[in-house]
Amino acid sequence: MSTESPPTSTAPESAAAEDRATARPADDLTQQVYDSPKELAIKYALGACALVSVFTTLGIAAVLVIESIPFFQEVALTEFFGSAEWTPQFSEKHFGIWALLSGTILVTVISAVVALPIGLASAIYISEYAADGVRRVLKPGLELLAGVPTVVYGYFALTFVTPLLQAVVPGLGVYNALSAGIVVGIMIVPMVASLSEDALQAVPDSLSGAAYALGATKFETVLRVNVPAAFSGIMASFILAVSRAIGETMIVTLAAGASPKMTLDPTQSIQTMTAFIVQVSKGDTPQGTIVYQSIFAVGLVLFLITLAMNIFATRITQRYQEKY
Amino acid sequence: MPTDMPNDNPRPDSSPDMDETVSDSAPEPVSANGQADPDDAAAAPPKADPSVRPKIEIQDLNFWYTDTHALKGITMNVKPHQVTALIGPSGCGKSTLLRCLNRMNELIDGTTLEGDIQVDGQDIYAPDTDPVMVRRRIGMVFQKPNPFPKTIYKNVAWGAQINGYTGDMDDLVERSLRQAALWDEVKDQLHSSALNLSGGQQQRLCIARTLAVQPDVVLMDEPASALDPIATSKIEETITELKSDYTIVIVTHNMQQASRISDETAFLYMGRLVEMNPTEKLFTRPEKDRTEAYVTGRFG
Amino acid sequence: MESSSNGTFHLRRTRRKRIGMILAGVLFLATILGIVVLVTLLVDVAMQSRAWLDMQFLNSLPSRFADQAGIKPALYGSLWLMGLTALISVPLGVASAVYLEEYARDGWFLQLIQINIANLAGVPSVVYGILGLALFVRFAALGQSLLAGALTLSLLILPIIIISTQEALRSLPTGLRESAYALGATRWQVIWSHVLPNAAPGIFTGVILALSRAIGETAPLILIGALTFVPFLPQSAMDQFTALPIQIFNWTARPQDEFRGLAAAAIVVLMILLFAMNLSAILLRDYFERQTAGE
């Protein structure tokens, strides 16, 4: 077949084919195709796009720092970090971040109390117990829950959860940390569940197999082998979810109120850092005033806290990914 | 079948300096003589006598994956219009060696290559050599049939198209499929998906796809290892027929296959070239004990 | 663990089994709690919206009077935002992911970019709002325009698009790239002809999920100043705008019950939009998968 293989139909090509069959006239291997101008242009254009994300981070940091400078020229750091009074609207203004920070912490703690156990339980159930059919319903269900816009959760907190709680908790105001905290908790359940489930799935079957072989029951194996083995991954999911709760804005703006104060009472109306930022920017606060500048300072604190938690969680995740 | 190859240039072993074409290159990392050699090649066209100049000359090739020293001082030549088989136990470096020949390995992060590989006297690792040009000249067929998830026609035409082929594409597709002995089976379904073909047909499609670029060397990495015996024998037939037009280097773990289709065989063990000889000699009168142990099935 | 000092076993099988069953039950209840809340939320919203959701609501401009108010500008604003955000974020995100997966060499720089993207995904959306306010509204002087909003939302969802595209690219078989390279293809030829078409289903799914995140975002839009009375439809990217989540927030924050009903009706519209997007993501993925499998 080899002899008649190039069908000599069209003259110039078959001549070329003949030529190639014996020995191609030395091809120029140094013709730059791989690094041709077009290829390089594409490469650098794509690389420039990848740099946008770097510049986003730098942009956030730069904006927050630069715009905070005028604020900190007027408000001493000692007052900002040392005081628990936040009264930007009063004639005698105080800017003590602890009033807002404590509101954020209160809501976050309530949400964690709701979300961490439920999220972890869901993760354990989906990864270790649920039959395939059940899993196929539960996972998209949780994904849907994660896809609900936060403003919708805010509506739900204010118009459904708060009246419900008022029936149980006497004297609960319209705006309170409890309702907001519970709904923020519901919002982050899917996050805890899906990240913890990933961690549980990463535990090798051989480990639980060994426990079964020793006569352990299912729940003993799950609680004493799988969950401890996935511990760091589960911790990472907790941290990420809590960081998300700290940054949550619409639920707390709608349901938690606008009264910055340092309190541990969940029935009180409070204000979080995020809600304060929204309150200022939705009002008619003129640019250049100290109140307007304060949102950048609060934003900076918020950014640093969530950044630190995210980095910490990434570290933990990397460690457990190396383990298996 | 290998026995009917004229052994007019018997070589006792594959020692580095047994023929005059090995130029001034010391066994050192990538040399600068790549520019000079093309002139050599032009002055003495290899078509005159295949035995004068090997198609591929490998000089003291070392290769690392990050920390693993995968190839250690390989020196060997591949003759034109022959089938050269690379054999050895898994992990011996035979696939790595094959992939060095068309610079596929450099697609993997963290690899290092030292030494010299020349094709027709051109250093394919010279700083100004373009890997794309190298791969156009030296095609490759992989272990697992991996046609593109496109039509049969597009599978064959794509390579030629991106390489700026200006001739009649239908003609080229037909010619390539015929060369790969697949035309009769697929001529009525050229525009249906290549993924509907059987494994053996897919692999022959991959061969056709490679031939459509009109390379002069075809590398094959265990092309039949994922196929059943009937498909395997079809591939082997195809390889034998391609020999007159192409220089073929094939990696195989199947020694019967090596003895059936190859003219020369190189045995690698733990990253080193143990022995390279005409296939018949290597299988019947190996020079090295380790080769004998391997070909008689005592290890590997 | 159940062995006593004299070396006999007390397996207590029934007790251990019972504990196990109770635990499984508790886990199950916790898991469906989320679903129950979701259903409650949807039912509650649907009930509240009944009296308000009609064609007049969809076709009217916002109004001080609840019974005349509608969401036409908000709906148009949201669709404009989504379109512009997609135009900006999709090319940028896919290009970034292609660079990171197909071009960048492993090393500290790539690591840094990856960690950076992961962290960006965790930055609160209100912080993106601050960035948009300073960078687009004021520095670039785009004002409170659709473009400023779309740019802000683009930066917000960029990490999501990059990460999901990277996953789509990573899930392709390596043989696909190798075989194309072996035919003498350049990087871009491999990417354009093989990598992107085959990764398209995954990329599309990720993009639609990211856009549905964008369309529900409220805080960044409030930050850039979108919370204004906009009784007109946007005509260009430079126009002021309002959007569904903004309208929902606005109505929810009012004390009067009838505005709560309007908020519920707007939520239904928003949720239908989100549901349609998710459905189209699933359908698109199916379509592409059938395409790839062969016609």
What is the rounded average pLDDT of the residues A60-75?
Answer: 94
> Cα(first)–Cα(last) distance of chain A, in Å?
54
C27 in the same domain as C117: no
Q: How far is B172 from chain A, CA to nearest CA, in Å?
A: 9
Out of A34, A189, A219, closest to residue C34 by CB: A189
Signed CA dihedral, C49, C55, C58, C60: sign only: negative
Nearest alpha carbon to residue C19 among A122, A216, A219: A219
**Using the beta-carbon criterion (under 8 Å), do C181 and B142 form an inter-chain contact?**
no
Out of C34, C99, C218, closest to residue A122 by CB: C34
Judging contacts by C-beta atoms under 8 Å, the chain A residues touching residue C44 are 156, 159-160
Task: At C79, list the tokens.
Answer: 């669709």
Contacts of B139 (CB under 8 A, 6+ apart): B102, B210, B211, B213, B215, B217, B218, B219, C182, C183, C184
**pLDDT tier, A219 (very low <50, low <70, confident <90, very high otherwise):** confident
Give the ranges where A173-289 is alpha helix by DSSP (H): 177-201, 205-213, 218-221, 227-229, 231-247, 250-255, 273-282
Nearest chain C alpha carbon to A215: C11
C61 in the same domain as C8: no
Q: Which amino acid is at B132?
A: V
pTM greater than 0.90: no
Q: Which helix (H) or strand (E) holds B264?
A: strand B264-269
Nearest chain A alpha carbon to B214: A20
Decide if B180 contacts B260 (C-beta within 8 A): no
C227 in the same domain as C146: yes
Give all chains having 3 or more CB-to-CB distances under 8 Å with chain B.
A, C
The sheet that has B111-119: what strands, in order across it? Answer: B68-78, B56-65, B111-119, B122-123
What is the rounded average pLDDT of the residues B251-256?
Answer: 90
Q: How far is C114 from chain B, CA to nearest CA, in Å?
A: 17
pLDDT tens digit sequence for C9-22: 777 778 888 888 88
C11 in the same domain as C141: no
The size of the B-C interface in CB pairs under 8 A is: 77
Please classify residue B139 by burial: count the beta carbons closer than 10 Å to its beta carbon, then call 0-12 exposed, 13-18 middle and 19+ buried: buried
**Using the beta-carbon criterion (under 8 Å), do B210 and C181 form an inter-chain contact?**
no
What domains lie within chain A, and their CATH numbers? 7-75 (no CATH), 98-320 (1.10.3720.10)
C243 in the same domain as C109: yes
Decide if A320 contacts C261 (C-beta within 8 A): no
Which of C32, C49, C66 is the C-terminal boundary of a domain?
C49
C168 in the same domain as C185: yes
C88 in the same domain as C42: no
Q: Give the span between the Cα atoms of A197 and C250, in whole angstroms.
A: 37
**pLDDT tier, C291 (very low <50, low <70, confident <90, very high otherwise):** low
Signed CA dihedral, B255, B256, B261, B263: sign only: positive
**Using the beta-carbon criterion (under 8 Å), do C182 and B102 form an inter-chain contact?**
yes
C39 in the same domain as C117: no
What is the rounded average pLDDT of the residues B226-233?
Answer: 88
Out of C175, C176, C294, closest to residue B193 by CB: C294
**Using the beta-carbon criterion (under 8 Å), do C173 and B107 form an inter-chain contact?**
no
**Using the beta-carbon criterion (under 8 Å), do B162 and C294 form an inter-chain contact?**
no
- The pLDDT, as a whole number, for residue C207 is 94
C83 in the same domain as C167: yes
What is the rounded average pLDDT of the residues B133-156?
Answer: 92
Residue B210, chain A, CB below 8 Å: the answer is no
ipTM score here?
0.90
- The pLDDT, as a whole number, for residue C293 is 54
**Using the beta-carbon criterion (under 8 Å), do A247 and C124 form an inter-chain contact?**
yes
Decide if A206 contacts A226 (C-beta within 8 A): no
- For chain A, give the percent of residues with pLDDT over 70: 90
- The pLDDT, as a whole number, for residue B20 is 37
pLDDT tens digit sequence for B78-111: 999 999 999 999 889 999 999 999 999 888 888 8
Please classify residue B3 by burial: count the beta carbons closer than 10 Å to its beta carbon, then call 0-12 exposed, 13-18 middle and 19+ buried: exposed
C247 in the same domain as C283: yes
C151 in the same domain as C13: no
B203 HSE (CA, 13 A, CB side): 24
Domain of residue C231, residue span: 56-294
- Bridge partners of residue B278, in order along the sequence: B264
Q: Which amino acid is at B87?
A: I
pLDDT tens digit sequence for A144-179: 888 899 999 999 999 999 999 999 988 888 999 999
What is the tally of structural domains in chain C? 2
Q: Residue C83, SS3? A: helix
**pLDDT tier, A319 (very low <50, low <70, confident <90, very high otherwise):** confident
Nearest chain B alpha carbon to A16: B214
CA dihedral B287, B291, B296, B300 (to 10 degrees): 180
C131 in the same domain as C36: no
Rg from Cα positions in chain B: 19
Residue B38, chain A, CB below 8 Å: the answer is yes
Rg from Cα positions in chain C: 25
Q: Which has more pLDDT, B300 or A57?
A: A57
- The pLDDT, as a whole number, for residue B166 is 87
Strands (E), chain A: none
Scan residues 239-278 of C and list those with Cβ closer than 8 Å to A.
245, 248-249, 252-253, 260, 263-264, 267, 270-271, 274, 278
**pLDDT tier, A323 (very low <50, low <70, confident <90, very high otherwise):** low
Q: Give the span between the Cα atoms of A187 and A108, in whole angstroms.
A: 12
- In CATH, what number is assigned to the domain containing residue C142? 1.10.3720.10
pLDDT tens digit sequence for C170-206: 999 888 999 999 999 999 999 999 999 999 989 998 9
**pLDDT tier, C246 (very low <50, low <70, confident <90, very high otherwise):** very high
**Using the beta-carbon criterion (under 8 Å), do A29 and B133 form an inter-chain contact?**
yes
**pLDDT tier, B197 (very low <50, low <70, confident <90, very high otherwise):** very high
